[in-house]
Amino acid sequence: MKGGDRAVDLRVVSGRERANAVNGRADMAWKTLDDMDLDGKLVLTRVDLNVPVDGTNVTDTTRIDRIVPTITDILAKGGTPVMLAHFGRPKGQPNPAMSLRIVVPALEAAVGREVTFVERPDRASLEALAAGAVVLIENTRFSAMEEANDPRMAQFLASLGDVYCNDAFSAAHRAHASTEGVAHLLPNCAGRLMEAELRALEAALSEPERPVVAVVGGAKVSSKLDLLGNLVRKVDALVIGGGMANTFLAAQGLDVGKSLAEHDMTDTARAIMAKAEEAACEIILPVDVVCATEFAEGADNITVAADACPSDRMILDAGPLSVARVAEVFESAKTLIWNGPLGAFEIAPFDAATNAAAAHAARLTRAGKLISVAGGGDTVAALNKAGAADDFTYISSAGGAFLEWMEGKTLPGVAALERG
């Protein structure tokens, strides 16, 4: 793939075009909607509708908006999309406060047609619906058999459809009846969003253009041990930021003052650095830091060398020299994977490093010089705040699933499609 082909927005390109745009391949182990005959068929479509609400209305329709291409394509191929989704954590019992009925108005606005909401589905009722119907089944987690991946639940769901389409990558790390069990019982495929997520991650980690750089930020090393251990074997450079960078600085014998740091994890940090050296992966840590006496908006702060943090202050961001070094690494890279902020991005001025690094990655992506994939945790919020998200090649809407994929773990929902 040529450099000028890299800046592709997977959110607006569909089907085979999306596959070719990212990595020139369409021979994945799972099928897509393009491979399926859907005419006249009921298509069980697992989606992510676990959206934020204010009690009566959906307050952020991002997840709803991102499933529209799948619903539209199923309809265009003559199928009837029958959506399966969870909402909240009802713990296996019906709970009116967690009914999916609340998302119906926003869903209807997004797909541009009426959505039939069904509390107790049966095959005959679904078959009686007029052509062009769009169906949403009540919260799958209202049954304890869902999260238990009970074969009886999977069999019941399979009886409602002719084809299974999984468009919920964000739930693919869960082996539930609606994400994994039912996939074995029907002809199956990935929906457009699932397809985009998998192809983006395939391009970034499985068969990337090198050099590959990863940015990993966040508060704790302990929460990302598997991630760090996997990445040092797969990337050429690893930028570590946020609170976990303080732990790595402490592991090098530096005084990090009152900074958030896991001092009991310094041996682990040193082991990760040793593993990185063996794998010829360069670890990039801050060389200068922004320190303050309190975690507060506009707090008085100083920028000092990484080995000069005053004992009464805390490190809240990487300094300008560190950002310049990160920019150099980005300049030499062909692929970027980003998970987590470089500092306390929620408040100024400790968002400076994240904002500057994100802006640089965005510029390189716009210029066709970098494939940039980001997701998980606070990453999307940080990149949105930096005004850089729209220019990244792909922003994953998944949280835990994105992280588990980066950790090298098998995602049950994906594996079921691959075996399908």
Give the integer Cα–Cα distance in Å for 234 and 254.
28
CA angle in degrees (0–180, nearest 5) for 92-98-99: 100
Give the integer Cα–Cα distance in Å for 408 and 404.
6
Give the integer Cα–Cα distance in Å for 198 and 236.
21
Q: How many CA atoms lie less than 13 Å away from 58 in the CB half-sphere?
A: 22
- Annotated active-site positions, please? 63, 220, 377, 400
Q: Are 40 and 130 in contact (CB under 8 A)?
A: no
- Burial class of residue 26 (count of CB atoms within 10 Å of its CB; 0-12, 13-18, 19+): middle
Residue 301 in tokens: 């702060």
Give the integer Cα–Cα distance in Å for 36 and 69.
16
203-222 burial, b at 16+ Cβ within 10 Å, e below that, comes to bbbeebbeebbbbbbbbebe
Long-range contacts formed by 2-5: CB under 8 A, 24+ apart: 3/368, 3/369, 4/368, 5/368
List, in sequence order, the alpha helices (H) in 175-233. 192-201, 225-231
